Chains A and B, each alone.
Chain A
Amino acid sequence: MGVVRELSLLGQAVSYLSTSPDIYRAWRTDPATPVGTASEPSSVTEGLPILDRYGYLWTSLGVPNGDLFDIPEYDEPDRRNIHAATIGVHCSAPRAIENFLDMGHFPYVHTGVLGIEPHTEVVDYDVQIDADSNELWATQCLFFQPMAAATSTAGEMVGYTYRVPHPYCSLLYKTSPLDESRMDVIGLFVRSVGPDRIEAHMILSLIDDSNTDSFIRRFQQSIFAQDKPILENQNPKLLPLDPRAETPIRSDRSAIAYRRWLSDLGVTYGVIPED
C-alpha cells in the first residue's frame, strides 16, 4: 500500500504513488483513487508510463518517443550522485533552461563565484545539433571563474560543455577540480507545473570524495538561488521564439540555437511560438 499524491505536469493533474521496494505508478488524477488515500499499485490499470532514473521519477502524458536520454557518467562506480535540491520558481521551463546555458551573466548574478568583473568577455564557442540524437550541444565554452566549484580555491579559465537532450532538461560538464582527466556533471531537470511555473530539480554527478553532501548542496543551492530572482523578473515569462522579440548577441549562440531547436521540435508549452 502507498499514499496517493498529486502534482501538476504541463498543467495536468497527475496522481502517483510509490511502495517499497521500487514500485511506482502514475496516472491522470481520477476521483476513483482520491489524493491522500492509501492504495495498492495493482489497482492502477490505466497508468502513465513511469521510469525511475537519476534519482527521480519520470513520466509522460503521451507515448514517449524512445528511451530517456542517457547520462553514462551517472553509473560510474566512483562517482557521487547528489540530489542538490528541488526548488519552485515562478518562470517558464525554457527561460530556466536558457539561463542554465548562459555564461554572460556569471559576473553579475554569481558575482565572486562563477564570474567577477572585469572578466566579462564571452569568447566564441561552438554550437551544434547532433544529427543522430537531435540533442543540442555547446562546446569549447570558456569563462573566467573566481570559484567555479565548491572545491575551488582560486580564479581560473574554466571550460564547459553544455548539452540539451530534452526541451526542459539540460546538463553541463566541466573539468573536475580534483581530477583533470574527468568531467563533473551538473543536471537541471525541469518539471513544468504550468506554463510559467516550474519545479527545478538539480542533480550533481561528481568526482569528489572529500566534501560533505551538505557542503556541496550549499554551493549548488546558492547558485540557483542567485538565478531565481532573475528568472522571476523576466517579461514576458514565456520564452519568445521569434528572433526579433528580444536582442540576441554573438555570445547568445546557444540561446539562439535553443530557441530555433524548440521551434523545430514544435514545442508550444512555456513559449510564445513564432507567428
Chain B
Amino acid sequence: MIKIYDYILSVNCYKQRLMMSILDVPFESIPIDFYPGWEHKSEEFKKINPLGHIPVIDDDGFMLRDAHAILIYLASKYDPTGLWYPTNNPELIGETAQWMLFAEGTTNTASAARLHVNLGYEFDIEACRAGAHRLFRVLEEHLWFREQENLGWVCSGEQPTIADIAIFPDVILSEEGGVARIDYPALRRWTDRVKRIPGFVPMPGIFPVGDARPISHEGEANA
C-alpha cells in the first residue's frame, strides 16, 4: 500500500489524498508532526526527504517527493482511463503542465498567506495576497470562458485533470489567508464542480457541497 508522509492541514498533502481518493487507491497516512513539532525538519525525516518537505510517498519502496510530481506519478500509474494525466494528447498534456506551474504560483501566494495567518510563517503577507489576487483574476477569466464553451475544467478537455487537483486546495482555502473569493464567481462555481467529482474528500476547513440538481429536473425546467 502507498504510504504518505502526511500533515492533515497541509494543502500539498491534501492534493495527494484527494487524488488517491478519487482514483480509489488505498493508502496509509503517516502523520508528521509538522506543527508545532517541525518533525519534517528533523534529522530523521531528512533521511526521507533531504529538502525537509512533505508530502513524500513511498509506493512499495519507490519514494517520491514534491506535490505536483506525485500527482503526475499517481495519475500515470493508477488512472486506467488516462484522463487525469492525458499523455496521449499533446495539447492537453501541455496545458496540464502549464496549469501545474500556475499551481506553484497559487501555492506560493494564496497558500503562503494561509501559512502566515494560521501558523505565523514570516512572509510578506500583503505581497502574498496581492499575488494571489493577480492569479485569481487570470483563473477567473479563464474559467468564465471555459463555461462559455460549455466546458468546466482548467484544461480544455471535457474531464478534469491533475491541474484541477493541484490548484483547487490553494483556491478553496484562500480565505484562511485573507484572500476573499467574492470577486471570483466563476472560480466559486468551479470549486462546486470539483467538490462533486466522484470520490471527492474534503480536508478540515473545506465543506462538502450538496448534490447537483438531478438531470431529469433540468430537462423539465428547460422544456
| Residues on A facing B (Cβ under 8 Å) | 83, 85-90, 212-215, 217-218, 221-226, 228-229, 232-233
Contact = CB atoms under 8 A, between A and B. Distances in A.
Contact of A225 (B9, B175, B178): B9
Contacts of B33: 213-214, 217
A224 to B, nearest CB: 8
The SS class assigned to the B binding surface is loop
Nearest to B33: A214
A90 B31 contact: no
A90 B205 contact: no
A217 B204 contact: no
B83 interface: no
B36 A222 contact: no
A231 B74 CA distance: 35
A229 B176 contact: yes
Contacts, number: 58
A215 B8 CA distance: 10
Given A83-B36, A90-B178, A214-B33, A225 B117 contact: no
A76 B176 CA distance: 37
B39 interface: yes
Given A218-B8, A222-B204, A226-B205, A85 B36 contact: yes
Given A87-B119, A88-B120, A228 B176 contact: yes
B32 interface: yes
A85 B175 CA distance: 20
B9 A221 contact: yes
Contact of B176 (A217, A221, A223, A232): A232
8 closest A-B pairs by CB: A225-B204, A214-B33, A222-B204, A226-B204, A218-B31, A214-B31, A225-B205, A88-B117
Nearest to A83: B36
Interface residues of B, number: 22
A85 B176 CA distance: 16
Nearest to B175: A232
B117 A90 contact: yes
B152 to A, nearest CB: 24
Contacts of B206: 229
20 contacts: A85-B36, A86-B36, A88-B118, A88-B119, A90-B178, A212-B31, A213-B37, A214-B31, A214-B33, A214-B37, A215-B31, A217-B37, A218-B31, A222-B9, A224-B204, A225-B8, A228-B205, A229-B205, A229-B207, A232-B176
B62 interface: no
B117 A221 contact: no
Contacts of A224: 204
Of B120, B175, B204, most buried by chain A (CB within 10 Å of CB) is: B204
A124 B119 CA distance: 37
Contacts of A88: 117-120
Contacts of B9: 221-222, 225
B175 A229 contact: yes
Of A212, A217, A222, most buried by chain B (CB within 10 Å of CB) is: A217
Given A228-B176, A228-B205, A229-B175, A221 B8 contact: yes
Contacts of B39: 214
B120 A214 contact: no
Contacts of A217: 33, 36-37
Contacts of B175: 229, 232-233
A229 B118 CA distance: 12
Interface string B1-38: 00000011100000000000000000000011101110
A72 B175 CA distance: 39
A149 B206 CA distance: 21
A226 B203 CA distance: 8
Nearest to B205: A225
Contacts of B36: 83, 85-86, 217
B35 to A, nearest CB: 6
